[in-house]
Amino acid sequence: MGKILVEGVGEVQEYVDICDYAVGLSRIVGGPILPSERPGHALIEQWNPVGLVGIITAFNFPVAVYGWNNALALVCGDVCLWKGAPTTSLTSVAVTKIIAQVLEDNKLPGAICSLTCGGADIGNAIAKDERVGLVSFTGSTNVGKQVALKVQERFGRKLLELGGNNAIIVFEDADLNLVTPSVLFAAVGTAGQRCTTARRLFLHESIHDDIVQKLSKAYEQVRIGDPWESDTLCGPLHTKQAVEMFLSAIEQAKCEGGTVVCGGKVIDRPGNFVEPTIMTGLAHDSPIVHKETFAPILYILKFKTEEEAFAWNNEVKQGLSSSIFTKDLGRIFRWLGPKGSDCGIVNVNIPTSGAEIGGAFGGEKHTGGGRESGSDSWKHYMRRSTW
């Protein structure tokens, strides 16, 4: 899909890690024994498999996202039917062949983890089929909404991992040496094609100009090119349509008062290469700032107060990941509390991108409300009976 080699290796490692996690989890899945109000009785919570899990994944993580679902589904006693992205079907085939070989080596049918390739018609069939106990969908909010309605229509179970419009907030007391590399990694990594990509950067007015200058210099040094080369930091966008969306977003931002600080152009070479872009001058509630564009465009805004910055973070429809940079302990706990970030992933002094498998991954509002990977995410893949 175009990501640089080190990210591709990291994604495969994530699948390995979630398998380790799931093996440990398989020995501790259980429900509590509760006190019964009736003498001589026991009250027990039992968790059973949902049966068949339909897993629909996106192009940007063609290995790891399936791995999160697949490893947990298997230890919960489920079987899997995977529909990977049509544009990364060879990756889906390769992964499925590896899994099938492992299953068959252990005298189990390879079809426990089956694969189907295709487009929206296949996804539609999975969403509508009553035999599918859980539909796990990763993709855009627009398509996720359609999937959710079709699954709900048959009273099925759904797990949605949808869009993000993630903000990093930098306060005047932040360790500024952390800020530039963190923002660069979060905004430019995977060429801006992560659901956890930093798309909005809020800078306190006292440090705004300094950070913009430092970031601009860092952006100029980003090596863009062949993702197989070890010194490449930013590969291509996935499709020509993505390049068109990149250009369209920049034009819309200019119309809404934005200024290109650096980048903003398509690179004249074979492939879908674009320049990572910084824009300033936009209002926090500009329509383009509230829109998730799957490309390396960062909108930088200036704020005065903590209340203002927290409100701007929360005012978009998506609620996936969020970050602040500060040394103020009181502010950190306000950020983590009920009046702070409304996102599913709330970071302090680290960027928006990345996740740890031990914690539940997912977000609120138009991000879908689903949770994958760690914590008690396994409950999605099972049904509860109270005995």
Per-residue pLDDT of the chain (387 residues; tens, 9 = 90+): 999 999 999 999 999 999 999 999 999 999 999 999 999 999 999 999 999 999 999 999 999 999 999 999 999 999 999 999 999 999 999 999 999 999 999 999 999 999 999 999 999 999 999 999 999 999 999 999 999 999 999 999 999 999 999 999 999 999 999 999 999 999 999 999 999 999 999 999 999 999 999 999 999 999 999 999 999 999 999 999 999 999 999 999 999 999 999 999 999 999 999 999 999 999 999 999 999 999 999 999 999 999 999 999 999 999 999 999 999 999 999 999 999 999 999 999 999 998 899 999 999 999 999 999 999 999 999 999 999
256 touches 198 (CB < 8 A): no
Q: List alpha helices for the chain, DSSP H.
A: 5-25, 64-75, 89-105, 120-128, 141-153, 176-188, 208-220, 240-255, 306-314, 329-336
Return the active site residues: 161
**Amino acid making up residue 67:** G
Place of tokens 């005995």: 387
Quickly name the fold that domain 5-162+368-386 has: Aldehyde Dehydrogenase; Chain A, domain 1 (3.40.605)
Rounded (5°) CA angle 374-380-384: 120
Residue 131 to residue 116: CA distance in whole angstroms:
16
Q: Provide the CB-side half-sphere exposure for 383 (13 A, CA).
A: 12
Name the CATH superfamily for 166-348. Answer: Aldehyde Dehydrogenase; Chain A, domain 2 (3.40.309.10)
Q: Provide the CB-side half-sphere exposure for 5 (13 A, CA).
A: 8
Backbone φ/ψ region at 234: left (φ over 0), alpha (ψ -120 to 50), beta:
beta
| Domain residue ranges of the chain, discontinuous segments joined by + | 5-162+368-386, 166-348
* pTM reported for the whole predicted model: 0.97
Place of tokens 């008690």: 376
For 339, the token pair is 């009046």
14 touches 357 (CB < 8 A): yes
For 248, the token pair is 């369209």
